[in-house]
Structure 1
Amino acid sequence: MNRSHSPRVVLVTGASQGIGQAIADVFLRNGDIVIGCAFSAFENARHAQKMKADWPEHFFYYSVDVTRTEQIKQFVSEAEQLFGRIDVVVSNAGKNVFKGIDCEESDWAHNFDLNLRSHWYLAKCARPALQKSHGVILVITSNHAFSTMPGCAPYNISKRALLSLVQSLTIEWGPEIRTVGIAPGFIDTDGNQAWFDAHPDARIARERTVKKHPVGRIGRPDEVGELCLFLASDNAGFIAGTTIVMDGGRSAIMQDEDDL
Structure 2
Amino acid sequence: MPRFAANLSMMYTEHDFLDRFAAAAADGFKAVEFLFPYEHAPSDIAQRLRDHGLTQALFNLPPGDWAGGERGMAALPGREAEFAASVQQALMYAQATGCRRLHVMAGMTPAGADRDAMRRTYVANLRHAAAQFAPHGITALIEPINTRDMPGYFLNFQQQAHDVVAEVGASNLKVQMDLYHCQIMEGDLLMRLKRHLAGVGHLQIAGVPQRHEPDTGEVHYRWLFDEIDALGYEGYIGCEYRPREGTSAGLGWFAPYKERQS
- Smaller-chain TM-score bracket: 0.3 to 0.5
Choose between structure 1 and 2: higher helix proportion.
Answer: 1
TM-score after normalising by structure 2: 0.39
TM-score after normalising by structure 1: 0.39
